[in-house]
Amino acid sequence: MSNKTPRLSRKDFLKLSAATVAGGMMMTSGVGRAMISQSTSSELLMRPIPSSGEMIPAVGLGTAQTFGQPQNDDDFNQRKEVINTLLNEGGTVIDTSPTYSNAEAVVGRALDELGRRDEAWLATKTSISGKQAGIDQNTQSFSDLKTNKFELLQVHNLRDTEAHMETILKLKEEGRVKYAGITHFRESANDPLTDAMLKHPVDFIQCQYNMIDRSVEQRLLPAALEKGVAIMINVPFGRGRLFRATSGKDIPEFAKEFGVDTWGKFFLKYILSHPAVTVAIPGTVHPHHVVDNIGALRGRLPDQGERDRMIKFIENL
């Protein structure tokens, strides 16, 4: 399996690492105790949002392919249990969109029935053309997600960015949105996304980054670190392609030294060890996969030498 981009240079990695060590911390889940150190088994890796200093668990949950249109009660209950497990394990971040079929309504109903809205950190999107159409869509999202406030509202895929940023910043002023963001996922959008990040007063950028597509390492991630913008990583498993590529293969011995015992942890720890990354949002409908993904927040992260070995391993598959 080949990669599209050169690796982060050692000089850049050390420079970026120094920046993140200053801000990156481990925190005991639910207790609020912070320290700059390696985590132990009970501690989860938390990352600060640069614009506020708020700490969030560095793995959350995506809902694009997985949460829309549950066919029956069993399907809904399974998704509800995924959210329950995320919160039980110490995760909080849930990313959704009004264009993920009825995922917002499923997330809203699940959080409502669980009585756990206040424990979740909700990110959704404006995903339509036209300023008023965006405002109407936001109104529907508040209703479907059964909440008066989003932690993060993002312009989806750079669609009508100028018009929607005005609305999102107004909602932020009114206290109905805590953070403003913009998303994309295509490599071809990396430059326009970086330019939009530099132009607008955003707190978050969401982009694709995984062991197959590392194109954001070139400009977007260093620029986000420089400006102090949080990075949310979508498609961390290449939509499952990384699992298919490693199916039946043994995890390399060297990765066990930094706590990797599953492929999910291998792929996530690679992403999380980039100092610009704030949170990754893998999608799943399986509670045991949520446990696995949150497990990537325990133990140390790979250093640059280990990151190089991880990439070589994937390239040689």
Which residues here bind ligand NAP, judged by CB under 6 A? 62-66, 95, 156-157, 183-185, 206, 234-240, 243, 264, 281-286, 289, 292-293
Task: For ligand NAP, give the closer residue by CB, 33 or 256.
Answer: 256
Task: For ligand NAP, give the closer residue by CB, 94 or 163.
Answer: 94
Six-digit token pair at 109? 């109903």
- Euclidean distance between CA atoms 230 and 280, whole angstroms: 11
Q: Are 201 and 179 in contact (CB under 8 A)?
A: no
CB of 64 to ligand NAP, least distance (A): 3
Task: For ligand NAP, give the closer residue by CB, 172 or 186.
Answer: 186
CB of 7 to ligand NAP, least distance (A): 21
Q: Is 237 left (phi over 0), alpha (psi -120 to 50) or beta?
A: alpha
CB of 267 to ligand NAP, least distance (A): 8
Cα four-point dihedral sign 289, 292, 296, 298: positive
Identify the bridge partners of residue 283 per DSSP, sorted by sequence position.
62
CB of 14 to ligand NAP, least distance (A): 28
Six-digit token pair at 182? 């913009």
| Sheet containing strand 43-48, strands side by side | 34-35, 25-28, 43-48, 55-57
b/e code 149-168 from CB counts within 10 Å (16+ = b): ebbbbbbbbbbbbebbbebb
CB of 12 to ligand NAP, least distance (A): 25
Task: For ligand NAP, give the closer residue by CB, 15 or 241.
Answer: 241
What torsion, rounded to 10 degrees, do the Cα atoms 256, 262, 264, 269 define?
Answer: -10
CB of 100 to ligand NAP, least distance (A): 7
Task: For ligand NAP, give the closer residue by CB, 239 or 300.
Answer: 239
Task: For ligand NAP, give the closer residue by CB, 13 or 267.
Answer: 267
